[in-house]
Structure formats: structure tokens, C-alpha cells
Structure 1
Amino acid sequence: MKRVQLINAGVPEGCVREAMSSIGQVARYGKKDDLRHVSQTIKDIVAEPEKYDRSTGSQWYRLAEALLREKRVAEQFAQHDPVRFSQWGTDIDPKALHQMYNACELPIASKAAVMPDAHLGYGVPIGCVLATENTVIPNAVGVDIACRMKLTVFDIGWELFHHRTLPFRDVLLNETRFGPGCAFGPGERQHPIMDDERWKALKVLKNVRDLAASQL
């Protein structure tokens, strides 16, 4: 079956790869009769994926488990009452407020606030606060900000930081690259994670590996 046929059979776009993989598995190891009714089988799995998961021993378990994951995500992001946010200041850009309203509709949002200097950001306004539950959102306000946001967390007392300002400043300047287009040179950053075999698992990961290394 082709991609369009799978989608027409009810397979979500995010599960098409697993559907094709399952069809290949059945074609290689299954019975010929299994492929004669593949279209109907796909529809049956979409309707009741729990009957085909790994625990059942089904050859279609990859598709079934992908569908179950998709279902869990859909339930997590189901319609809910948006979080109300506090607004400090007036004459704030309407586009920034619209971004904030959208962010507060996320099921992971727990609290939010907009500061007087808020203006349009990447996903949420620059100059806003968005607290989330069990979730980290990288680059929420923009790429430049995210480059160093982690450096706001130090397991040290204020006194040490205050009395050793220059060493900490040097660490900040030497160990980070700030803004689009700024990166470490090839081989300048080494970390065991860059040798992880999972970089080869997907084409998209292969394509961004060197970029990730340059941003360590």
C-alpha cells in the first residue's frame, strides 16, 4: 500500500512509517493470505490497535503500538480550559497577547504572566512567564534567548558568584556561542553523546548531528 492509501485507510500521518514497516514484516515472514486482505487488516488495527500490540504476538505490533502512542498524545492534548495569565502593564502588542493566549491553551501550561515589555517572540512572547508541568520547552521565546537560558541555574551561593564575577564571565563567553550563525568549529567540542549510534537511526538526525555538535 502507498502512503495515500494508508492515510485513506485511517492511518494517521505520523504512523505511516510504522504501517509500511509492518506490511514489509508481514510480506517477509507472514502468510500469503495475510497480504490479500491487508487493506481491511489495516482498518481493523486502526479501529482496535490494542488487539494487535506486542503482547498479542501479532506481526502488526509496530503499527498497533504507534497508533496507541498517537492516541495517548491526542488524549493529552485534548480540549481543556486555558490557563488565565496575569498582565503587567498596558499597550502591549496585540500579537504578543495572541501568542500568550495560544500558549495558555496548551495542556502542559499551569501558570503564566506577561511583563510590561512583552513583545512578539518565536512561540511565546519575549517578556512573558510560562510555567509548565513535567515539560521543558526549548527555544520557546526564540533561539537567541535559549542559547544561555540554562545558565540561570547554579548550585552555588550568591556570595561565591558575586566575588568571582570574572571567572564566571569568562566561562560564559568561552563555553557558549550566542545567536543564529554562531557555533563552535568542527572538532572544537567533544562529547560521548556525539558518538551515539542513534544519530544514524533517522535521516533527520543524521542531517543535524554536525549542527548539534557545533552547539554543545
Structure 2
Amino acid sequence: MPTEVKTNMKRPIKYFLIALLVGVALYNAVYFQPLDDRNAAKKKSVFDPDAFAGAFIETKLKELPAIKADQFLESLKQDLGQFTAEKGRKLGISNDYYFIVEGNARVLGIEEENVRISLDVENAAELRLATEFIFGNTIREASGMANIGDFQNTMDFNNISVAVNERVRSDIIPPFLSEVKEGDDIYFKGAVKVNTKKPNLENLRIVPLILEIK
């Protein structure tokens, strides 16, 4: 058989083998996953701020370290700069410092946006427990419940504040307001922000996390 004919016959076989090898390689490179499994994996990878906030509210509040409210106020008056730097939390470069405080108090009045209280100590100071306009990052920052470095994006981190504020507005404040009255003795634990440039210590507003009528 002429050499040219043999060569022409070998070419289709050669191309077939090449195509076969390419096909096997592509098949092994493609990963097929059932649609249900893929959707389930996708759901697992999506951060749920509501679940995160719910777990915090339900399991972390009682053990959350807090400063006694009267000691907190006295320390601010004695040396605001040193105390906030040593005991407060803050996010980045800011004049805002955040704290968790607690105490026993007596209800002096129920206002439209706050419950006004007097601490159950000698020379008691007045404070306000916020009952409306629960916004911002005060709870998240004061509690240390989340670290921005643990999240893939700032949206997830910011949504934690939205979710935990909503929990306070819906689960913590309404039951308290439905029963509390002027003259009641209460226990509270909550988050508070202090701005070192404009501290306004006479009108500190505490975002409540625990409210108990005695």
C-alpha cells in the first residue's frame, strides 16, 4: 500500500484518539451536583443576622459582663478620658465609646420615648431607658457580640445591629411597658454610648437588654 494512503488512513484514527482524550479530560473536570444539594449549600453560606441576633438575645444576656450604673457614672465624672479608654469599646477612630451597665432603680416617670429612672443608691442619679427610636450600633458595640474582622462584608456586620435592635423593639420593650408604672422598682441591664467630646452625662440614654419589674 502506498505510503501516502497509509498516512491518510492514520489521520482519522489519530484525531479520534485526541478527541477521545479531550472528552475524558473535560468529563473529569466537570463536577455535577444535585440541584437540591447546591441550594442547601448556598443557604448554609448565607449569613442570617436575625438568627445571630436571636441567639444573642436568648442565650448571652444574663452572663454579659456589665458595670454597675452608679460606679459607671462616678468614674465618668472623675476621669472621663481615662475611664472610657480603659473600659469602653469603640469602632475604629471615634469619640464614641460603648458600655454595658446594670443596676436597680425606681421608675420616676414614663415618657413618650423613655422611662425615666432613679438609681437605687445614695445621691441617686437619674437615667433614661430608651423605649423608642432604638437605632444605631450601641448594642452591637457595647456588648462585643460581633467583630467586623469575622465577616466577609460590612453589610452582614451592619445587619447585625438592625436585627438586634428589632429584637429589642419587639421582644424586650413591649412586655415591660405593658406592666410598668411610676414608682415600680426595677432591674435593668443595657447598652450606652458616651461621646468623649460631648459626654452630656446628665442625659445618658440606655438601650435596654434586660428589664425586670421587682
TM-score for the superposition, normalised by structure 2 = 0.21
Larger fraction in helix: 1
- Structure of higher CA gyration radius: 2
Larger fraction in strand: 2
Highest RCO, 1 vs 2 (Cα 8 Å, sep ≥ 6) = 2
TM-score for the superposition, normalised by structure 1 = 0.20
